[in-house]
A and B are shown apart, each in its own frame.
Chain A
Amino acid sequence: MAEKETQKTYRMHLMICAGTGCVSNHSYEVKEALEKELRKHGLENEVVVVPTGCNGFCERGPILVVQPGNIFYQQLSVKDVPHLVEEHFLKGRPVAKLMYSPPETKQPVPVLNDIPFFNKQVLIALRNRGLIDPEKIEESIAHDGYKAMVKALSEMKPEKIIAEITLSGLRGRGGAGFPTGLKWQLVRNAMSTNGGQKYIVCNGDEGDPGAFMDRSILEADPHSVIEGMVIGAKAIGATAGFIYVRNEYPLAVERLSIALKQARDYGLLGQDILGTGFDFDIQIKRGAGAFVCGEETALIASIEGRLGEPRPRPPYPAQSGLWGKPTCINNVETWANVPTIINRGAKWYAGIGTKTSKGTKVFSLVGKINNTGLVEVPMGITLREIIYDIGGGIPGGKAFKAVQTGGPSGGCIPKEKIDLPIDYESLSEAGSMMGSGGMVIMDEDTCMVDVARYFLTFTQDESCGKCTPCREGTKAMLEILTKITEGKGTPEDLTLLEDLAPAIKDTALCGLGKTAPNPVLTTLRYFRNEYETHIQNKKCPAHVCRPLNVYTIDPGLCLSQGHGCDVCRRNCSSEAIAGQKNEAHAIFQDKCIKCGVCYDVCAFGAVKVD
């Protein structure tokens, strides 16, 4: 029965995004409505609706791409469905009003590849996004899934696989950028001296806030990761593997479980894979909500059922990992790159990118940007191209201030460096790092002192407490930053921060602590004036640090423009606003909790903040 269904041919495929973003924008309701409407017109044997993984353009969800033709529809709702089915799928007239129109031209762009968000992207890790149903292995296979694995298992010696990965220049996509081929070689060599069991691990504990590429890959194309891991297993000689997935990603766990079962059923995993005599299987391990478990030694401890605390290295997992055996740990995106390198060759891959950073990188473009979403771009692209060409610039005509990369371990890069070509080295020279690929855009309304305080709150909270510099040092830095954002800072505080930061960097046990001061150091380096304004003038220029804000209502504007509309008073949760309809309103400063809701709801600009 299932076989029959997959063999059925349709004249049209409606690829609806079923990534987490679109699902929360009701894409499943749109899918059901489409199926119902297609049946109503007797089209169910001609047109099929296919749920896919994340399309990337999350800002515009729910997204539907019609094949053939690559026609892109966006922000669909159930009520758009009858018109769309009748016009496009029955009569063949694509519906312009449901297409994307760039804000500059206001002209609908029918074809996906012509949309600026997509046309500068180069897809390797995300090669199957929007093209396959992640819950059907047949669709993955139809798009060259497992082809590289067949080649690696039947035609290539382990040395040849490692040589190919080394030559490609692939580096770890989890953040640190360690050369993948070299890591594989180390684990392979470790086997020849120790013998016995070895392990492959996929690190899917994507903890950096603001990054969701690993989630997207696992949800959209789980087979690409499984295939990469089998190739890695052959190269290093492992027979067992684990995928460690964050607890917060239930959909990724579900899709991976389905994918693993299907791969086993097809003989692509398990004993004697495809009759080549090679055995390898994979288990899923769910994380339990601890950021530090993204660190490889903590992750290993967590898989073994222990507290996720890091330990000093060496020995590195390549020598002594899971249960003391040589273990090769790579991140989700790294594994997803492997099959394409084997298929298309190391030379091809190394032709993309810069001298030291080859291939592409997936970034999640989020924060104060028009086109939020997931993008895969060649290394060496400039920040300007990402922010303005792909991202469509800053919303509401606001000024771009900085971009934060590398999560809590990274830093803020100021607007002066917008023409920086992105690779591992250029980002660390700027004081930040590649990290897992979160790219949070900040505009003039973002306070950089608050951002530094935010990241320290994060690292302080997530510090496992094992080593003193991280446990106590991040706490001390956080206390100073909190003081500054409350208007109680002194000029000496900045000196103290500058003393503490390198001390923590040099002495903390693991990556979490060693990099925790980075957000403070980069904001001090590029935005020192903001710190000084908080300390000297007791003001937050971006009006983010609330203890420093004072909200008032301009009585003239309130009455002349809004006729005392009373919306602010009705939304105030602390009864701090006086007035009634047709009267000018006013704020009792002693009752105001500075939540800012009055400022947000006033349609007449009568509420002021200073």
Chain B
Amino acid sequence: MNEQRVSEILTRYQGDSSSIIAILQDIQEDFSYLPPPVLKIISHELGIPLSRILSLATFYKAFSLKPKGKHRIHVCLGTACHVRGAQRIIEKFERDLGIKSGETSADREFSLDAVRCIGCCGLAPVVMIGEDVHGKVTQTKIPGLLKKYKK
């Protein structure tokens, strides 16, 4: 099963080892994380040492070695969001979800991450849930937002 998904992705890049970052991105998107067995397959197929793949996987923030939640929450901590109170927003999510930034809730519904500016500064403070951008978020709006995605 895994092998087939991985070989589809590798075919897309014709086994080009300089496309390794793009390959890892597609795997991250497809599996919601980089499963270690999959990394082993890639290392073998592309002839890239596993240590090098792991160094890429831990250097770039887009990658995760642990599964992420069904709904990925990204709280923007860009400058515009910061001066409009983003730190308090992320802490409210942490309290309401009972997890820290970077973690996934026990029921795998939500994962919470901070992100450095998503370029919607006009709507600060901004939170992205999945692909949806929510602007001008306040602490009091957060319980309602979580409820909306949970059902």
Contacts and interface: CB of A to CB of B under 8 A. Distances in A.
Interface of A: 20-21, 23-25, 58-59, 61, 206-212, 215-216, 247-250, 285-291, 302, 304-308, 364, 366-368, 372-373, 404, 407, 438, 440, 442, 446, 451, 454-455, 458, 462, 464, 571, 573, 595-597, 600-601
B117 A210 contact: yes
A458 B120 contact: no
B116 A207 contact: yes
A285 B88 CA distance: 35
Given A23-B133, A291-B116, A305-B21, A58 B139 contact: no
B95 A573 contact: yes
Nearest to B46: A305
B135 A462 contact: no
Interface of B: 17-22, 24-25, 55-56, 59-63, 77-85, 88, 91-92, 95-96, 115-124, 126, 131-135, 138-140
The 6 closest A-B pairs by CB, nearest first: A58-B122, A289-B61, A209-B78, A212-B119, A24-B133, A288-B60
Contacts of A21: 120, 122-123, 135
Contact of B120 (A207, A212, A573): A212
Contacts of B138: 600
Contacts of B19: 305
B25 to A, nearest CB: 6
B83 A451 contact: yes
Contact of A440 (B20, B80, B92): B80
A596 B88 contact: yes
B83 A446 contact: yes
A600 B124 contact: no
A305 B61 contact: no
A248 B25 CA distance: 12
A380 to B, nearest CB: 24
B122 A366 contact: yes
B140 to A, nearest CB: 6
B133 A20 contact: yes
Given A289-B61, A308-B60, A404 B135 contact: no
Contacts of B132: 24
B120 A24 contact: yes
A547 B60 CA distance: 33
B139 A600 contact: yes
13 contacts: A20-B118, A58-B123, A248-B115, A248-B118, A287-B62, A306-B56, A308-B60, A366-B80, A446-B83, A451-B83, A454-B82, A595-B91, A601-B140
Given A209-B79, A366-B80, A596-B88, A305 B62 contact: no
Contacts, number: 152
A600 B140 contact: yes
A529 to B, nearest CB: 19
Nearest to A216: B119
A340 B91 CA distance: 47
Given A288-B60, A440-B83, A595 B117 contact: no
Contacts of A440: 79-80, 83, 121
A23 B56 CA distance: 33
Contacts of A58: 120-123
A579 B78 CA distance: 37
A215 B56 CA distance: 25
B119 A20 contact: yes
A286 B25 contact: yes
A284 to B, nearest CB: 9
Most buried by A among B24, B61, B124: B61
Contacts of A285: 21-22
B121 A212 contact: yes
A290 B56 CA distance: 11
Most buried by A among B62, B84, B115: B62
A287 B117 CA distance: 14
Contact of A208 (B25, B117, B118): B117
Given A366-B80, A404-B79, A571 B140 contact: yes
Contact of A215 (B78, B82, B91, B119): B119
A211 B60 CA distance: 21
Most buried by A among B61, B83, B119: B119
A308 B63 CA distance: 14
Contacts of A601: 140
Contact of B121 (A25, A290, A364, A455): A364
B68 to A, nearest CB: 14
A210 B121 contact: yes
A366 B76 CA distance: 14
Contacts of B122: 21, 58-59, 61, 364, 366, 372-373
Most buried by B among A289, A308, A438: A289
